[in-house]
Amino acid sequence: MFRAFRTVLMRDITLAMRRRTDVFTTLFFFIIVISLFPLGVGAEQQTLRFIAPGVAWIAALLASMLALERLFASDYADGTLEQMMLTPQPLAVLVLGKVAAHWLLTGLPLVLIAPLVGLQYYLPPDATRTLVLSLLVGTPVLSLIGAIGAALTLGLRGGGILISLLILPLYIPVLVYGAGAVMASGDELGNVQAYFLLLSAFLILALIFSPWATAAALRISVE
What residue type is 67 in one-letter code?
Answer: A
Q: How far is CA 48 from the centre of its chain?
A: 24
Confirm if 144 and 99 have CB atoms less than 8 A apart.
Answer: yes
As a 3-state breakdown, the chain gives helix, strand, coil percent values, each rounded to 5, of 85, 0, 15
Residue 95 DSSP SS3: helix
What residue type is 183 in one-letter code?
Answer: M
pLDDT of the residue at 64: 87
pLDDT of the residue at 71: 83
Confirm if 82 and 143 have CB atoms less than 8 A apart.
Answer: no
Give this prediction's pTM.
0.89
Confirm if 72 and 153 have CB atoms less than 8 A apart.
Answer: no
Query: pLDDT 10s per residue in the chain (223 long)?
Result: 788 888 889 988 888 888 777 778 888 899 999 988 888 887 788 888 889 999 999 999 988 888 787 888 888 888 888 888 888 888 899 999 999 999 998 889 999 999 988 888 888 888 899 999 999 999 999 999 999 988 888 877 766 678 888 888 899 999 999 999 988 886 655 688 889 999 999 999 999 999 999 999 888 887 7
Largest CA distance in the chain: 59
pLDDT of the residue at 173: 92
